[in-house]
Each structure stands twice: as C-alpha cells, then as structure tokens.
Amino acid sequence: MKKTILGSVLIGMIAFSAFTFKGDIYKVDTKTSSMEWIGKKLTGEHNGTIMLSSGEVEVTNGTIAGGKFDIDMATINDRDLQDPTYKAKLENHLKSEDWFDVKKFPKATFVITSVTPIKEAKDGGYTHTVKGNLTLKEKTNAISFDAVIKMTDGKVACVGQTVIDRSKFDVKYNSKTFFPEIGDKLIYDEFTVKFSVVAVK
C-alpha cells in the first residue's frame, strides 16, 4: 500500500514538473510572416515566394528552446516573370515531379534543434545562430544559419536567410551533381531562402 501511494505521489510530481517547466508556445502568424527564394542557373536566375502553413516556437526562460515550421509547397510563386504564360509554366514545373513533386510531398518541415546567441554580435547584425533539421521530399538534412531574433512581450520575430543544397534532397533536375555533362542547361544546386517569421503567444 505504501509503495502504491509513493508511486502515485512520484507520478504526480513528475507530471506537475513536466507541466511547470514546459516552455511557452508561440504560434506563427502566417499572414505577417514571409519567405522568399532565389534560384540561379548558368544563364540567369528566378525569384519568388513560398508560404508557411503553420508553425510554433517554444520559449523557455526568455530564450528559444525549440520550434517547428511547416511550409506549404503548393504556394511556390514566381515574381520575376511578367508574362503570365511563362510565370505559370515555371511555377507548374517547380511543383512537378522534375522538382519538388508537390502532389506527393505537399509540405516541407523545419525543426529547430538549437539557438545560440552570437558572441560580440554587432549592432544591426545577426544575433543568433540557428540549427535544425529540414525535411523535404521525405529526406532530412541538418542546416544552420544566422538570424536576427528579437523577443518582446508576447512576440518573437526572426529575420535571416539560409542556403539550401537541393541535391541533398534528391531534387535532380539539370543538376551537375547528378548530370556532370549538363553543359549550359545547368541549374545550380544551391538556392537561397530569405525569411521573416513572426510568432505570437
């Protein structure tokens, strides 16, 4: 009987501790958050936007302890092409099996593993280094980037950019990694993603 009571007390204490020390959850405001992409080829480049479908940031003792962000791959949008026909053609191609195969893989996910303050960060410069795992087309790779993170009462804002190597996610189209003799049809493996993410409590 004593063991049963003691066990119940311990379970209660553990449950209480887990609840007490869990960080505050901030939900990403997908309407005010934004993401931009820039992809380059041998003969030029394209740029556009893509949207977050959901996300949350965990804050513990005033610092970011974790986070998860879902990216809606169906929202890939081109901004540099003025002709509606060419714009639609590029967007549909990026969503096709040649590229991100959006019907089969409708979302990408980024999960934060660590956020570290940058020592002696310069005024106006990046304040933190963010590390995490990006899952795209069911392949997961670690990425890291520097960002400006600002925390105010009830709000977290993060601005930065990262470079992603598509070849690591099995995106092969006109990639020199997979087709060494591609010549002037080359599209570079690395593309840049710029972001401004806002999360509120």
Residue 5 has pLDDT above 80, yes or no: no
Given this model, what pLDDT does residue 123 score? 79
The DSSP string of 70-109 is EEEEEEEEE-S--SHHHHHHHHHHHHSTTTT-TTT--EEE
Residue 10 has pLDDT above 50, yes or no: no
Q: By mean pLDDT, which of 14-28, 104-118, 187-201 is the weakest? A: 14-28
Prediction pTM value: 0.86
Given this model, what pLDDT does residue 166 score? 99
Q: Selecting from 1.10.1040.10, 2.40.128.110, 1.10.1040.50, 3.90.400.10, what CATH number does the domain 23-200 have?
A: 2.40.128.110
Q: Which residue has the tokens 């041998």?
A: 42
Q: Assign 44 a pLDDT band (cuts: 50, 70, 90).
A: very high
Q: Give the residue-averaged pLDDT of 61-82.
A: 97
In sign, the C-alpha dihedral spanning 56, 160, 34, 42 is negative
- For 125-155, the pLDDT digits (tens) are 999 999 999 999 999 999 999 999 999 989 9
Residue 36 has pLDDT above 50, yes or no: yes
Given this model, what pLDDT does residue 109 score? 99
Q: Where are the domains of the chain?
A: 23-200
